[in-house]
Structures are given as C-alpha cells and as structure tokens.
Amino acid sequence: MAFPTLEEVVQQLREIAEDDTIGSESMITSLEIDSLDLMEWVFEIEGQAETRFDDALYSKKSLESTTVGDFYERVKSASS
C-alpha cells in the first residue's frame, strides 16, 4: 500500500481533533489534542502505510516546534 498523502493525514488529524482549522503549517504542540489523540493519528498513518514508527518520532520532545507537515515528512522518511 502507498504511503498516505499529506492531505490525507491532515484530514485524519482534523477528524480526530474535531478541528477543521488544522493544516500542514499547524504547530502540533499548539493543537487541542491529547496524547491519545496523537497516538490514534500515528496508528492511522501506520495502518495506511503498513509500517511501524519508532516511538521517538512522536515523543513530546521531538514534537516541539514541529508542524504537521514537518511531522509528515519525518515519518514518511522513516518508513522508506
């Protein structure tokens, strides 16, 4: 299965967070989501990409100053 597009993962996060204002430039740490929402989002991406990411990719420290788009590029690179 192909890796999901940036638009797809943004839409998934919008649905999980119930916030249509989230975009690729949104800072992850400024979103109104908790760690369970973040985990759900990561699991969605992993399921679509048929891969598993290292937990360090989405640790609280690694997400500081990270946009949704930055995170997408990080996990996409890690899955290659």
* Predicted confidence (pLDDT) per residue in 4-44, tens digit: 999 999 999 999 999 999 999 999 989 988 888 888 988 88
Give the integer Cα–Cα distance in Å for 14 and 48. Answer: 17
Under DSSP, is residue 27 helix (H, G, I), strand (E, B) or coil? Answer: strand
Give the integer Cα–Cα distance in Å for 40 and 12. Answer: 10
- The average pLDDT across 53-78 equals 86
The structure's pTM equals: 0.84
pLDDT-based confidence at residue 1 (cuts at 50, 70, 90): low
- The angle formed by the CA atoms of residues 3, 13 and 65, to the nearest 5 degrees, is 90
